[in-house]
């Protein structure tokens, strides 16, 4: 059997354990969308805060170059036909390890989190799987709970246009397929966005029987190669980047982010991400 021969060639998974490579018994984990989360006035307050926060991204054409900047001060005049093909990693702004560090250092983002959690019946806490980052010299703030390791659980990211940034690869935010209690919560921060500017988040179903033959064997060495079995996206879900939209999804869900079709070099789509866990 073709599928059996594929399985036989695999080595042990990332955790040193045998399969499953898909979430047992689940076609597509839970994905919820809520619109019109905050008032226009508060939306603008948070947006201004993001534009005046420190962001980082990396130009990955040789030589690698880490760039730190504030979007409100970014001069894009140097981006022209000679540089347009330099590849840009996803821009990020780093905020907090938990609710305590968020409240202490970024009260405006903490206020947003309280509004989000209230909309979600206050059942979440900022204690999910932290995000990795290539900005290694910026230390994570300590957590209030000594049992919770510091890590970037609150951050912002952005989608540059597809001439300078490639599409995101398919991955999971939580690679523990038996952990049902984590969620990634995203608020779409850009106050202006249009359908033709794209940038959608695409969610892929599980493929436990290996019918598509896609188990990440096509990923490059720098991307996740964890042998997750990926189904066709038209059996999954697509979420557009509508302003003031809240997206909540199971941290195990296979997903990727489309790059933007908006060719304005300074008007990236920006959103705030919370890596959360259900309260005990």
Range of the domain at 175: 21-70+87-278
d(CA 137, CA 2): 47
- CB-based contacts of 161: which residues, under 8 Å, 6+ apart? 259, 260, 261, 262, 263, 264, 265, 268
Averaged pLDDT for residues 104-129: 98
In a domain? residue 16? no
Q: What is the pLDDT of residue 23?
A: 93
Alpha-carbon distance of 209 to 10, in angstroms, equals 15
Percent of the chain with pLDDT over 70: 83
pLDDT at 139: 85
> What is the rounded average pLDDT of the residues 4-13?
32
Number of domains present in the structure of the chain: 1
| Domain-located, residue 80 | no
pLDDT of residue 61: 62
Confidence of residue 62 (pLDDT cuts 50, 70, 90): low
pLDDT mean over 198-207: 96
Which CA distances in Å does 183 have to 92, 201, 217, 275, 276? 19, 15, 26, 6, 5
Encode pLDDT of 64-97 as tens digits. Answer: 667 777 888 877 665 554 454 556 778 899 999 9
Give the model's pLDDT for residue 166.
67
Is-cis flag, bond preceding 185, omega within 30? no
pTM, two decimal places: 0.86
- What's the distance, CA 231 to chain centroid? 20
Domain membership of residue 29 (yes or no) is yes
Tell me the average pLDDT across 155-176: 85
Q: Can you give the pLDDT at residue 146?
A: 93
* Helix residue ranges, H only, 18-80: 40-51
Which residue has better confidence, 225 or 274?
Answer: 274
pLDDT average, residue stretch 30-55: 97
Does a structural domain hold residue 1?
A: no
Of all residues in the chain, the percent with pLDDT exceeding 90 is: 62
Average pLDDT for residues 159-187, to the nearest whole number? 88
* CATH code of 127's domain: 2.60.120.620
Instruction: Report d(CA 103, CA 277) in Å as an integer.
Output: 18
Report the chain's mean pLDDT, rounded to a whole number.
Answer: 85
In a domain, 13, yes or no: no
CA distance 124 to 136: 28
Q: What is the model's pLDDT at position 11?
A: 32
If pLDDT is split at 50, 70 and 90, which confidence band does 16 have? Answer: very low
Q: Determine the average pLDDT of the residues in 141-148.
A: 95
Give 235 or 83, the one with higher predicted confidence. Answer: 235
């Amino acid at each position: 059997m073709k599928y059996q021969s594929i399985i036989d060639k695999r080595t042990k998974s990332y955790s040193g354990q045998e399969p499953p490579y898909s979430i047992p018994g689940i076609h597509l984990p839970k994905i919820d969308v809520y619109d019109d989360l905050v008032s226009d006035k508060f939306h603008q307050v948070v947006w201004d805060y993001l534009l005046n926060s420190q962001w980082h991204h990396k130009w990955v054409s040789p030589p690698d170059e880490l760039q730190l900047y504030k979007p409100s001060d970014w001069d894009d005049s140097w981006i022209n036909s000679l540089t347009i093909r330099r590849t840009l990693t996803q821009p990020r702004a780093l905020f907090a390890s938990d609710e305590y560090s968020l409240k202490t250092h970024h009260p405006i983002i903490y206020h947003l989190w309280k509004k989000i959690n209230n909309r979600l019946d206050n059942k979440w806490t900022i204690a999910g799987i932290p995000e990795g980052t290539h900005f290694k010299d910026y230390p994570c703030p300590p957590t209030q709970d000594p049992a919770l390791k510091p890590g970037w659980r609150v951050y912002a990211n952005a989608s540059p246009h597809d001439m300078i940034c490639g599409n995101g690869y398919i991955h999971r935010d939580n690679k523990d397929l038996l952990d049902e209690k984590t969620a990634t919560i995203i608020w779409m921060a850009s106050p202006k966005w249009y359908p033709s500017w794209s940038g959608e988040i695409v969610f892929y179903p599980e493929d436990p029987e290996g019918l598509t033959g896609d188990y990440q064997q096509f990923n490059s060495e720098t991307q996740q190669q964890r042998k997750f079995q990926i189904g066709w996206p038209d059996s999954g879900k697509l979420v557009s980047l509508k302003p003031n939209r809240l997206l909540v999804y199971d941290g195990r869900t296979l997903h990727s982010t489309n790059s933007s079709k908006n060719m304005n070099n300074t008007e990236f789509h920006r959103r705030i991400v919370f890596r959360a866990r259900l309260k005990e």
